[in-house]
């Protein structure tokens, strides 16, 4: 794709997204950037801002104010710190790239101050008992439920992301050794993670009894295939998992990532080392994995019981000698 011959914002956005794709960034990453820059583009249109060289620090101050006041259409809630930071980062990197490509004379956003990331904890944490309840739901739906159970078991056993599960091929799972190869993970990094014997048994059942009957010319080597015989899309996976969470009767919503959260917190609860959980989840930085130490309930409770003066105290307000 050639450089745009004008400086209109959306024309330059299309060029920028093409550069991202040419660089090998994932479709999920590009989709997120496109959605974020579209929000900026529409906001600019309302203010009659049409060209990229009009995007400067003063304009971004007004955009930040808009993001602070913005309320999501779905639930009326404001954007969290991480969402606002991401939206501003999309614009910052967009302008940086256009400057590097010679479409801008200066990088007007070089010194932009981004809001703090904060620390967002996983919200819908599910216990082992609740996870098992969710896992039992697909068996109510006959043969196709067998495939769905195999997918849920794979999510739970490995903690992989939904895009990573979508990209799995049949030869990525070693059912004998209990290993799963994750290709093109976040940052295009590959890794090998263990997968439980139970999950392997469900995958074996799915491969032997169902996949061969669902496959068609478009299936290729995909491990898990949707009803049309092709790989799952990210949204379809989320819809499927969300449906089973709802059917389980639990009062909290959740989708594919709930199994990732559960894998991390339950492993830490059961004594796993942080660096091992980091390797399992494919986190580039251990600081990302550390988030789960704040929600690992048994470790926190055990540490509290062994160290806090109030918990160590043997006196009780109900003791007959408590007033003496």
- Specify the DSSP class assigned to residue 177: T
Does residue 186 carry a catalytic annotation?
A: yes
**Active-site annotation holder among 147, 149, 161, 162:** 161
User: Reduced to 3 states, what is the DSSP secondary structure of residue 140?
Assistant: helix
**CA 67 to CA 81: how far, in whole Å?**
10
Q: Is the torsion defined by CA of 299, 300, 303, 306 positive or negative?
A: negative
Does residue 71 carry a catalytic annotation?
A: no
Does residue 161 carry a catalytic annotation?
A: yes
245, 134 contact by CB (below 8 A): yes
**Active-site annotation holder among 92, 133, 181, 186:** 186
Q: How far from the centroid of its chain's Cα atoms is residue 3's Cα?
A: 33
Among 23, 15, 112, residue whose Cα is nearest residue 59: 112
In sequence order, what are the residues at sequence separation of 6 or more whose Cβ sits closer than 8 angstroms to the Cβ of residue 6? none
Among 212, 238, 250, 219, residue whose Cα is nearest residue 148: 238
Does residue 308 carry a catalytic annotation?
A: no
274, 289 contact by CB (below 8 A): yes
Distances (CA, A) of 63 to 39, 57, 86, 275: 10, 10, 13, 39
Q: What share of the chain is helix, strand, coil (3-state, %, to 5)?
A: 60, 5, 35
**CA 258 to CA 127: how far, in whole Å?**
10
**Active-site annotation holder among 84, 147, 261, 283:** 283
Largest CA distance in the chain: 87
**Active-site annotation holder among 14, 101, 133, 257:** 257
Backbone angles phi, psi at 231, to 5 degrees: -60, 150
What are the residue numbers of the active site? 161, 186, 257, 260, 283, 292
């Amino acid at each position: 794709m050639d450089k745009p011959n004008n400086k209109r914002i959306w024309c330059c956005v299309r060029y920028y997204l093409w550069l991202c794709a040419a660089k090998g960034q994932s479709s999920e990453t590009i989709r997120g950037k496109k959605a974020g820059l579209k929000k900026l583009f529409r906001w600019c249109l309302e203010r009659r801002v049409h060209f990229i060289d009009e995007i400067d620090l003063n304009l971004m101050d007004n955009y930040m104010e808009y993001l602070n006041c913005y309320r999501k259409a779905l639930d009326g809630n404001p954007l969290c710190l991480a969402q606002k930071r991401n939206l501003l980062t999309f614009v910052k990197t967009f302008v940086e790239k256009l400057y590097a490509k010679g479409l801008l004379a200066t990088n007007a956003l070089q010194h932009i101050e981004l809001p703090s990331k904060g620390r967002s904890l996983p919200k819908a944490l599910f216990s082992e008992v609740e996870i098992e309840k969710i896992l039992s739901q697909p068996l109510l739906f006959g043969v196709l439920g067998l495939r769905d159970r195999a997918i849920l078991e794979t999510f739970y056993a490995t903690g992989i992301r939904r895009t990573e599960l979508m990209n799995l091929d049949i030869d990525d799972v070693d059912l004998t050794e209990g290993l799963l190869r994750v290709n093109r993970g976040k940052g295009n990094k590959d890794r090998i993670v263990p997968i439980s014997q139970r999950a392997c048994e469900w995958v074996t059942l799915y491969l032997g009894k169902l996949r061969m009957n669902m496959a068609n010319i478009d299936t290729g080597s995909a491990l898990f295939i949707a009803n049309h015989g092709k790989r799952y899309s990210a949204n379809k996976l989320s819809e499927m998992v969300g449906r089973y969470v709802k059917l389980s009767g639990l009062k909290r919503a959740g989708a594919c990532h709930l199994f990732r959260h559960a894998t991390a917190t339950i492993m830490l609860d059961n004594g796993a080392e942080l660096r091992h959980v980091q390797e399992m989840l494919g986190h580039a930085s251990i600081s990302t994995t550390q988030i789960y130490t704040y929600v690992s309930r048994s470790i926190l409770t055990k540490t509290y019981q062994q160290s806090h003066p109030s918990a160590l105290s043997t006196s009780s307000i109900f003791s007959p000698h408590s007033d003496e």
